[in-house]
Amino acid sequence: TQTVDTVHAILTGFPPTITVYPNRQGSQRDSGIADDVELWHLAVDQENTWRMGRDEWAQGVFDQALSGVGVVREVYPVPDWWIRGEGSPEDLAQFPVVQQAIPPTQFYFELGNPPRGRFKLCFYDMDMSVGDIQDTYGVTLDLRRTDDGDLMEKELDEIRSVVDWWEWVGNEIYHCIYVNVRDPKDNEPLGQFIKPPTVMPEYWMLPYHVFFFRDTGSRDYSRMGLSVLFTLDEIVHDMEILASRQMAAFEKYADPIIVAERGPNGGDAPIPIDKSPGSILDIAQGDRVSYLTWPGSPPDVRYLWEKFDAITTELSFAKGLLAQGADTTGFRAALDRDTSLLKISKGLLN
């Protein structure tokens, strides 16, 4: 909708600002290191945008505005020898940082304690084909079962659920990747670990950035964040009903219903009615034909529409912010703009 697009454009209209402060103010060496780190972060953002074909952070903000929560996954899928500083960057066949916007409907978590962040565990449940799993992770999946419970050869295009699981255990972060498939006979999971539960010392936080649009404080995931459309849900539904009734009223005036009744000697056969242009209605003596007219004065639909429109503007954005209502004064337009921006300030801070 235009409301979501407007919020998305306001929040992502400018590139992100990345600032790294030097360890010691006035130190030329530390300032140079800080500048290099800033450039590296900007390069990571641009490289991921190029590799993914879209701005993943902007997509997360779009999910935030539309569904109330945005999720961005940021991981470092590099081998241990690269983390230890062994070898050269040219030996690494993949980019060391991956940023990916996750559909909120495929993300799950359990709340934790504040010192370690808001979440104790979180995981991403994605569907992948057997062929993609084996190529991506370099593993060979187990055979799958038939309806009778017998093992049979797997198909490369068979879809399986892949769970990317991260969890705080004590003072350490554990990570595992599990492929899950249900046994059609008894509905028991028949999966396998691609990566067994492993301590991830290079991580100091769970690699999922979760940001809500309107944070409600609820512990229920489905109610923790409200979208920008939350306040418009009922009013838009009422306006759709009003528009439908308005169109029905217009049809009754522009193309009224014809009522045809047989006379005393006309029999029981219905009178054929053709309302196409140039058609002729053939009736016998004593038959009656009339239009079904409105029994009273027409409803003031325009008043109701303007009333709903004013409520919608109050709940969302002023028309000036949507390039509408250009007849307002500059002072009024500035007030409307500032009032509208206040409605997305919480989402912007998050």
Tokens standing for residue 94? 């993949």
Average pLDDT, the chain: 76
Confidence of residue 174 (pLDDT cuts 50, 70, 90): very high
Tell me the mean pLDDT in the region 92-102.
79
Residue 69 · residue 103 · CB < 8 Å: no
- The Cα 149–Cα 183 span in angstroms is 8
Is residue 68 pLDDT above 80, yes or no? yes
Confidence (pTM):
0.67
Q: Residues 339, 344, 350, CA angle at the centre, nearest 5°?
A: 145
Summarised one tens digit per residue, pLDDT across range 233-275 is: 666 677 777 777 777 777 777 777 788 888 777 677 777 787 7
Tell me the mean pLDDT in the region 141-148.
64
Is residue 132 pLDDT above 90, yes or no? no
Summarised one tens digit per residue, pLDDT across range 11-28 is: 777 777 888 888 888 788
Contacts of 242 (CB under 8 A, 6+ apart): 301, 304, 305, 308
* Model pLDDT, residue 299: 58
Summarised one tens digit per residue, pLDDT across range 327-350 is: 555 555 566 666 666 667 777 777
* Model pLDDT, residue 193: 86
* Model pLDDT, residue 319: 59
Tell me which of 98 and 326 has the higher pLDDT. 98
- The Cα 161–Cα 110 span in angstroms is 20
* Model pLDDT, residue 128: 87
Tell me which of 161 and 346 has the higher pLDDT. 161
Tell me which of 219 and 171 has the higher pLDDT. 171
* Model pLDDT, residue 166: 93
Summarised one tens digit per residue, pLDDT across range 297-310 is: 555 666 666 766 66
Confidence of residue 283 (pLDDT cuts 50, 70, 90): confident
Tell me the mean pLDDT in the region 76-92.
63
Confidence of residue 149 (pLDDT cuts 50, 70, 90): low
Residue 107 · residue 72 · CB < 8 Å: no
* Model pLDDT, residue 160: 83
Is residue 225 pLDDT above 60, yes or no? yes
Is residue 231 pLDDT above 90, yes or no? no
Contacts of 99 (CB under 8 A, 6+ apart): 44, 45, 48, 52, 56, 57, 72, 73, 74
* Model pLDDT, residue 208: 92
Is residue 32 pLDDT above 70, yes or no? yes
Helix (H) or strand (E) run with residue 348 in it: helix 345-349
Q: Across 30-34, 189-193, 335-339, which has the greatest mean pLDDT?
A: 30-34
Residue 210 backbone phi and psi in degrees, to 5? -115, 125
